[in-house]
Chains A and B, each alone.
Chain A
Amino acid sequence: MKVTIAAERCTGHGRCYNIAPVLFSDDERGFGDITGAGDVAGEHEEVARAAVAGCPEHAVVLNS
């Protein structure tokens, strides 16, 4: 699975990197960044789904 942030929707709530710091980090404006290539290991799938649910703008997308 792969996780991405739709940059045109992200407005910097910062939920993704708080909910799933293993997959996301904060940039200098406090907006979310993907750490690495965005590949989600099996053990991180649950927290990836939580980041999707936690984004108020629906900017975090998880693809299989």
Chain B
Amino acid sequence: MGDSTVETSSFRLQDAPMTRDRTAGWAYVRGYGEVFEGDGAWYLTSADAVQYAQQHPELFSSARAFDSLGSPLPLIPIAMDPPDHVGYRRVLDPMLAPRVINAMEGELRRQLGVLIDAFVERGSCDVVADFARLYPTQVFLTLFGLPLEDRDQFIEWAEFIIEHAGVAATEPNEQVAAVSGQLFGYLQQCVEAKRRSPGPDMLSRILALRGESAWSNEEILGLCFLLTLAGLDTVTAEIGFLLFHLAKDVDLRRRVVGDPALVSPLIEEVVRLEPPAPIQPRVTTTDVDVAGIEIPSGQLVNLVVAAANRDPARFSSPNTIDLDASDRGHFGFGGGIHRCLGSHLARRELRLAVEEFHRRIPDYELAEHADPEVVWPSGTLHLKELPLVFTARPKP
């Protein structure tokens, strides 16, 4: 922990050279110090500083930190503080626990097979458009017991909201409000249908809560809205990053294809280096001292987990994938009480996606002249496209 002596008035998040090289991009952000003010917010970039904020929700509040998303309903549980937050997580954690996800695994593998088999005979694909963009929404619909036919309409709404709201938005947007209204209308219909005929799904389980634990309609829609914003494009992005690194690095790919036990270590390392939610906001509740620098009360503080995940003080060889060192606790799924609610589901989705892809397409590379770029700035860091080529196989 040292003094912040870097002149930070020149800092612009959008200037970080992120599009082709996140190592350079996050080094730019970290170069301004572990705690600094610039570009309209405070930034925490070291592992120690980020962890301190995550573990002190009484100092770093989430309640007003997500106002830029423009949700008319409470974003449960991400935009809540203790003690309310605790009660919601007690209800929600068991619904997304590993033992619940185990029961979904066969169905998720089946759906992955259908998606991938659709392009095996082409000998080429765009991972993002043909696969990564579709699968997480199917998983959400499956988890909530909703019809898979609604997938494309659902994706259209969610992508519009995510693209036009979030960190890049400076004021409420009428178009976003209109599309959000359509999504809420759809979700409201789903809630009513599940009230009439409940199933073994997560939405029915929430609707079945009774007495003091029962949720209001606003709470249920707020949760659905949040899962739509947080649970779909993040997994889409991460599938893209996983296959990007595998396609770029022949040795890495051969090692992982040859030993499927390495898929999970690979996921940990890629989530550490390419977290899809790289910056997580908080608002200070009082004057707070972090690493010797005082942040006043009421300030927007951005926890740069992507930079913390590359902190050389915490991680050796911080900028490279090391399958033999994947057991290093990272912040890719956040930390503290707001640890990603869907992290167990996300890890499983990613593992099954890589396994089923490799089962059908074990050898592949980037298409000629392809130089995949991420969208920047963007709330969810993701590749625009990922064109791959491979040996075509007959469709099973």
CB-based contact B329/A58 at 8 Å: yes
The interface bits of chain A over 49-60 (1 if a CB of B lies within 8 angstroms of the residue's CB, else 0) are: 011011111100
Q: For the complex, is B149 an interface residue (Cβ under 8 Å from A)?
A: no
Q: For the complex, is B55 an interface residue (Cβ under 8 Å from A)?
A: yes
Q: Name B64-109 residues within 8 Å CB distance of A.
A: 90, 93-94, 96-99
CB-based contact B327/A15 at 8 Å: yes
The interface bits of chain B over 327-339 (1 if a CB of A lies within 8 angstroms of the residue's CB, else 0) are: 1111101011101
Q: Closest approach, in angstroms, between the C-beta of B312 and any C-beta of chain A?
A: 16
Q: Name B322-364 residues within 8 Å CB distance of A.
A: 326-331, 333, 335-337, 339, 343-344
Q: For the complex, is A4 an interface residue (Cβ under 8 Å from B)?
A: no
Q: For the complex, is A44 an interface residue (Cβ under 8 Å from B)?
A: no
Q: For the complex, is B204 an interface residue (Cβ under 8 Å from A)?
A: no
CA distance A51 to B98 in the complex (A): 18
The interface bits of chain B over 221-248 (1 if a CB of A lies within 8 angstroms of the residue's CB, else 0) are: 0000000000000000000000000000
A-B Cβ contacts below 8 A, count = 59
Specify which chain A residues have a CB less than 8 angstroms from the CB of B97 in the assembled complex. Answer: 26-30
Q: Closest approach, in angstroms, between the C-beta of B300 and any C-beta of chain A?
A: 23
| A contact residues vs B (CB 8 Å cutoff) | 9, 11-15, 18-19, 26-31, 50-51, 53-58
Sampled A-B contacts (10; CB under 8 Å): A14-B98, A14-B344, A29-B93, A30-B94, A30-B97, A30-B99, A50-B327, A53-B328, A56-B329, A56-B335
14 further contact pairs, Cβ within 8 A, besides A53-B327, A56-B335: A9-B55, A11-B335, A12-B339, A14-B343, A28-B99, A29-B97, A30-B93, A30-B94, A30-B97, A50-B327, A54-B326, A56-B330, A56-B339, A57-B55
